[in-house]
Amino acid sequence: MINKSHPGSGQLQLKPLIESETGLFIVRGVGWSTLTVLFVFFVNNTLNVWFGWPGAMVADEGRSYVQAGFYAVAIVGAFLHVYRNPERPLRFESKQISDANTFLIRACFWAVLIVGLVDMFLSLLEVEQLLKDVFGEAISSLLVQQKIRGPYVHMPLIGVSIVMAAYTRTLGFPWLALLIVAAELTIVMFRFIFSYEQVYMTDLVRFWYASLFLFACAYTLREEGHVRVDVFYAGFARKTKALVNAVGSLIFGMPLCWVLLTISMKDQFGIVNSALTGFEKTNTGYGMYVQYLMTVLLAVFAVSMLIQFVSYLFSAVADYREAEFKPSEAHKFQVAT
């Protein structure tokens, strides 16, 4: 039905769905349940892959019912959270979710930066047969094993990266792009001037390239930086654009992220799970030991985009409802923990 209160606007009258309090409750419930289900998905994936649990879809298995129950609790808990906090503005929740996603992306940036530099240095020592001179024969024999370097070198560095993300505010994308250019320039100089090139050098560039593009996608969505190939959108009114963004997030964006996650992590043989459990490395020459992390980047991309799509959905519905929110009033809506 066309909105008659604004002649010629051509906007759909969606008041029963979006502008009503019931519609707002449903939108918030769907958004928050997406996030809680995402958390449970990774809990169950950990139980499946590392502890041999059967999964939530296996019939006639007690632990399967427990895992399915986790999802039910997550959904109920999300809607209960929305019910108990009806006054929280959509824009406030959108910013909350986006800020949490920004922290995740920032931690990933520091992780790929630090892990990349440290692993490249270790691979350099391995290539030049200096590993024993620096670390001794016992430790060096361990550092060349992929199932040692992954959990005992990379994972602690990732933990350090999370701590660094808590004390920094930059996402680091310009710096990562600059480092990629510097790494490429170094490869070219060493190749044509010194006739020296090793696999670990190109591995580092590939690792950083993949990280830059996959991590930056969610940030670009937040900043409305993605290129829109459209014929009609640019001429739409603000409320119509908001409607398109909300529907697009629900129908296309969020389901795509779930497809990527469920296919790549459906069981221990999924591409992400198998790479992570085996700590896959480059099999060509003396490469870096981060190939499994490059595969995990696909999951990080899907997670960060899914979280950002929830934030985008809330923001779009707030635009449609023409809701205003003053950041200075944010303290009124903090939930006690």
Q: Per-residue confidence of the chain (337 residues) as pLDDT tens digits?
A: 334 444 444 444 445 566 678 888 999 999 999 999 999 999 999 999 989 888 888 766 788 899 999 999 999 999 999 999 988 899 999 999 999 999 999 999 999 999 999 999 998 998 888 999 999 999 999 998 888 999 999 999 999 999 999 998 877 778 888 889 998 998 888 888 888 888 888 889 999 999 988 888 888 888 777 777 677 777 888 888 888 899 999 999 999 999 999 999 988 888 999 999 888 887 766 788 998 999 999 999 999 999 999 999 999 999 888 766 555 455 455 544 3
d(CA 313, CA 316): 5
pLDDT of residue 28: 94
Residue with tokens 């993300």: 165
The string of DSSP letters for 316-333 reads HHHHHTT----GGGGGGG
Specify which residues 68 forms β-bridges with. Answer: none
pLDDT of residue 222: 81
Q: Could you tell me which of 120, 122, 118 has the C-alpha nearest to residue 110?
A: 118
Q: Look up residue 194 and give its DSSP letter.
A: S
| H helices, E strands: number in the chain | 12, 0
C-beta of residue 178 within 8 angstroms of C-beta of residue 172: no
| End-to-end Cα, the chain, rounded Å | 43
3-state secondary structure of 2: strand
For residues 304 and 102, is the Cβ–Cβ distance under 8 A?
no
Reading phi first (left if > 0) and then psi (alpha if -120 to 50, else beta), residue 10 is in left
CA–CA distance, 94 with 318 (Å, rounded to integer) = 9
Residue 175 pLDDT: 83
So what's the pLDDT on residue 73?
A: 97
Determine the length of the chain: 337
- The tokens for 127 are 């290539």
